[in-house]
Amino acid sequence: MTVKVMIPTPLRPYAGKRASAEFQAATVGEALGHLTKEFAELRKHLFTEEGKLRSFVNVYVNDEDIRYLAKENTPTKDGDTISIVPSIAGGVS
Amino acid sequence: MATTAQPGTAAKPAATLSNEEILRYSRHLIMPEVGMDGQLKLKNAKVLLIGTGGLGAPLGLYLAAAGVGRLGLVDFDVVDFTNLQRQVTFGTSDVGKPKSEAARVRLSNLNPDIQIESFETQLTSANALELFKDFDIIVDGTDNFPTRYLVNDACILLGKPNVYGSIFRFEGQVTVFGMPDGPCYRCLYPEPPPPGLVPSCAEGGVLGVLPGIVGSIQAMETIKLILGTGENLAGRLLLFDALGMKFRELKLRKNPNCPMCGTHRTITKLIDYYEFCGVRGEEAPGPSVQVPEITPRELKSRLDHGDDIFILDVREPHEYQICNLKGHLIPLGELTRRVHELDSSREIVAHCRSGKRSAEAVDFLRKVGFRKILNLKGGILAWSDEVDPSVPKY
């Protein structure tokens, strides 16, 4: 199953400046595993040292938050889009 | 100067428009979705803008132009020359003036019929509830995590909607928090990122038009909330990618276990948000890691003396184009795999723009065995200030 992972602007420097990447994956966790294998520097930005997704990084399959699905075990279908959405604070300066 | 059409805060709701107001708002009045009722709702509305910068600029301009009867502007900052690239409320002659007051003057000129108050103060846990209580809608256009959590919590405690917008480089997020039964900022992000893991706008840059677009969407949502019309963004996170020119929308759910707006609220008052976000003081100036340093003046005199010093520039190539010290360029992100380009037997001085990234580079190089390595204190900015003013600052 081919899924597309959308990489947000703040994390692109750690992902070879790519905006998205495609992987064969049956779950969200698998796709993120492939992603952080290909771009090792991304790992610490997405996961804690214990391997847990960081709490300021949300992951969506299409438009659904995986926290309300099966988290990283959420199954993916062919053509699904996985979005990584970190908190950003900018506005004034 | 600001004139107050409705002096005092306890004034009765306006029930009519003057002939001049009817003319000013005629393009609203002839729309059935606004009409006289809607325009009176706008006139009686009280909106507080937190931040009068990039997002605050279109917000202030459009809300004032639309006839929002009472606008509060909270900002403690002063107008800086680098703000003018995107903060379109301000003119060159405003540089150095307090932002909230400069914005008040500009907006009063745009619409003298509304009441505009400037609060030249930093929003804190001590003043937020008092400031918010007289307003119906709070609009978050700030630039840092502590203030965003503070705005969220104060809005939830007072039951007020929070029109949220946030930007980074060419990407934006917009939603409405704090609606009855809707999610809050903590439902979306229970915790802020630790300092240093997410770059700030000052480091990452921002395309000038982006806050214009995101702030305009916030202004639109604010006006819809006042009019009670259309579908607002509560429960939806709008993502905007300016480079791909794409809007996407994600579902945003209310977290039943949210410590702020969930069924078992554990946060019942405002907290210390700097502590919560792991930051002490405003922007934690200077390097985050302690490494041996050299001042620009020392470096200059040693170079003049003919000492063999290798200058390592860890900025990005596009920054090198702006100005450089003729150093060897290895961007911080590439240092790990390009470390072989450096000779550990030579004395090395690493620099970046402000000294922060190069401190990380020095820290890394020391860990891999480099001993004769120093960080240029204050970076190329300090070099420009202390040694060579012909080097532009950016």
- Alpha-carbon span B16 to B19, nearest angstrom: 10
CA dihedral sign of residues B73, B77, B78, B80 = negative
* Alpha-carbon dihedral angle through residues A72, A74, A77, A82, given to the nearest 10 degrees: -50
Residue B375 pLDDT grade (very low, low, confident, very high; cuts 50, 70, 90): very high
Phi, psi for B292 (deg, rounded to 5): -60, 140
- Domains parsed from chain A with CATH numbers: 2-86 (3.10.20.30)
In the predicted model, what is the mean pLDDT of chain B?
A: 92
Given a contact cutoff of 8 angstroms between Cβ atoms, the answer to whether A90 and B283 are in contact is: no
- What integer pLDDT is reported at residue B135 of this predicted model? 98
Q: What count of other Cβ atoms lies within 10 Å of the Cβ of residue B9?
A: 10
- Alpha-carbon span B312 to B330, nearest angstrom: 7
Interface test mutation site (partner B, options A55, A83, A88, max chain B beta carbons within 10 A): A88
Question: Chain A contacts of B170, Cβ < 8 Å?
Answer: 9
- Look-up of token digits 């922007």: B283
Crossing angle for the helix pair B35-43 and B209-227, to the nearest 10 degrees? 110
Q: What count of other Cβ atoms lies within 10 Å of the Cβ of residue B333?
A: 15
- Domains parsed from chain B with CATH numbers: 19-276 (3.40.50.720), 293-386 (3.40.250.10)
Give the DSSP H or E segment for A86: strand A81-86
Minimal C-alpha gap between B370 and chain A (Å): 22
Q: What is the DSSP letter of B262?
A: S
Percent of chain B with pLDDT over 70: 92
What single string gives the DSSP state of each residue in B286-349? S-SS---EE-HHHHHHHHHTT--EEEEE-S-HHHHHH---SPEE--GGGHHHHGGGS-TTSEEE
Question: Chain B contacts of A89, Cβ < 8 Å?
Answer: 142-145, 148, 166, 192, 198, 200
**Does the beta carbon of A10 lie under 8 angstroms from any beta carbon of chain B?**
yes
Beta-carbon separation of B249 and A63 below 8 A:
yes
Q: Where are the alpha helices (DSSP H) in chain B?
A: 19-24, 26-29, 35-43, 56-66, 99-110, 128-132, 145-158, 185-188, 201-204, 209-227, 273-276, 296-304, 317-322, 335-338, 356-367, 379-386
CA distances from B72 to B42, B59, B94, B236, B349 (A): 14, 12, 19, 26, 48
- Alpha-carbon span B199 to B273, nearest angstrom: 19
- What integer pLDDT is reported at residue B6 of this predicted model? 47
- What integer pLDDT is reported at residue A3 of this predicted model? 97
Tens of pLDDT, residue by residue over B302-348, are 999 999 999 999 999 999 999 999 999 999 988 988 999 999 999 99
Given a contact cutoff of 8 angstroms between Cβ atoms, the answer to whether A74 and A27 are in contact is: yes
Tens of pLDDT, residue by residue over B189-236, are 988 887 766 655 556 678 999 999 999 999 999 999 999 999 999 999
**Does the beta carbon of A93 lie under 8 angstroms from any beta carbon of chain B?**
yes
What tokens were used for B310? 């290798």
Segment B49-69 shows an average pLDDT of: 97
**Number of inter-chain CB pairs under 8 A, A vs B:** 118
What tokens were used for B251? 């579902």
B187, B258, B261, B352: the active-site residue:
B352
Given a contact cutoff of 8 angstroms between Cβ atoms, the answer to whether B250 and A65 are in contact is: yes
Question: What order of strands is seen across the sheet that includes strand B328-329?
Answer: B293-294, B373-376, B347-351, B309-313, B328-329
**Does the beta carbon of A88 lie under 8 angstroms from any beta carbon of chain B?**
yes
Beta-carbon separation of B168 and A90 below 8 A:
yes
Q: Specify burial of residue B237 (Cβ count, 10 A radius: 0-12, 13-18, 19+).
A: buried
Residue B10 pLDDT grade (very low, low, confident, very high; cuts 50, 70, 90): low
**Does the beta carbon of A53 lie under 8 angstroms from any beta carbon of chain B?**
no
Beta-carbon separation of A85 and B197 below 8 A:
no
Beta-carbon separation of A86 and B201 below 8 A:
no
Given a contact cutoff of 8 angstroms between Cβ atoms, the answer to whether B356 and B362 are in contact is: no
- What integer pLDDT is reported at residue B199 of this predicted model? 58
**Closest-approach residue (CA) in chain A for B185:** A87
Query: Is the ipTM, as predicted for this complex, more than 0.85?
Result: yes
